[in-house]
């Protein structure tokens, strides 16, 4: 049986049998290998080399995980959103925090997002998955407005 394992941009073709795997001895879910392994790196399977299984298999090299999405903060204070306008990359999470002594909301004019009433120090978070301009306001104090531009 052959299994293909993606290792750091290379496909590693492994010939395995259905023999019993040693306890805890596996690489990316492939059972323990018998004495011979066929490896094709930049070559066809016809030109693959037969190599002996090393005493200990090295850890698989995995591509780096994507960096976490950015988090931006907007403070609600003194009847204002700060910053009032925010330009962010796609996938960014924005957190609004009410630092005022009275309740506020964060409501998209297009109905894309809507917070509950936020008391002092409460937060509302939204992740922007689409590009565009998103105007918002406080539904309790409609003169409080802000804008998020997602690029």
> Domain limits of the chain?
2-52, 71-150
Cα→Cα distances 52→5, 38, 61, 72, 93, Å: 18, 9, 20, 52, 50
Q: What does the radius of gyration of the chain's CA atoms come to, in whole angstroms?
A: 27
Digit-coded pLDDT (tens) for 38-91: 343 444 444 344 444 445 545 555 455 555 668 999 999 999 999 999 999 999
Digit-coded pLDDT (tens) for 97-130: 999 999 999 999 999 999 999 999 999 999 999 9
Q: How far is CA 139 from the centre of its chain?
A: 32
CATH fold of 71-150: Immunoglobulin-like (2.60.40)
Query: What pairs with residue 81 in β-bridges?
Result: 76
pLDDT at 69 (0 to 100): 67
Say how many C-beta atoms besides its own lie within 10 A of residue 134's C-beta. Answer: 20
Query: What pairs with residue 107 in β-bridges?
Result: 114, 137
Residue 147 confidence (pLDDT) above 70:
yes
Report the distance separating Cα 51 and Cα 31, nearest Å: 17
Collapse the DSSP code of 19 into the 3-class scheme (helix H, G, I; strand E, B; otherwise coil) and give the result: coil
């Amino acid at each position: 049986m052959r299994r293909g394992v993606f290792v750091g941009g290379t496909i590693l073709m492994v010939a395995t049998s259905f023999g019993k795997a040693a306890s805890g001895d596996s690489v990316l879910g492939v059972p323990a290998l018998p004495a011979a392994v066929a490896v094709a790196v930049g070559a066809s399977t016809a030109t693959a080399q037969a190599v002996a299984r090393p005493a200990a298999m090295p850890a698989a090299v995995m591509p780096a995980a994507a960096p976490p999405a950015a988090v931006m903060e907007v403070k609600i204070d003194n009847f204002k959103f700060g910053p009032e306008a925010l330009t962010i990359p796609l996938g960014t999470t924005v957190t609004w925090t009410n630092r005022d002594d009275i309740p506020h909301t964060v409501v998209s004019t297009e109905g894309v997002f809507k917070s509950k009433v936020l008391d002092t120090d409460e937060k509302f978070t939204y992740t922007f998955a689409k590009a565009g301009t998103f105007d918002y306001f406080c539904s309790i104090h409609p003169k409080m407005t802000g804008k998020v531009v997602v690029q």
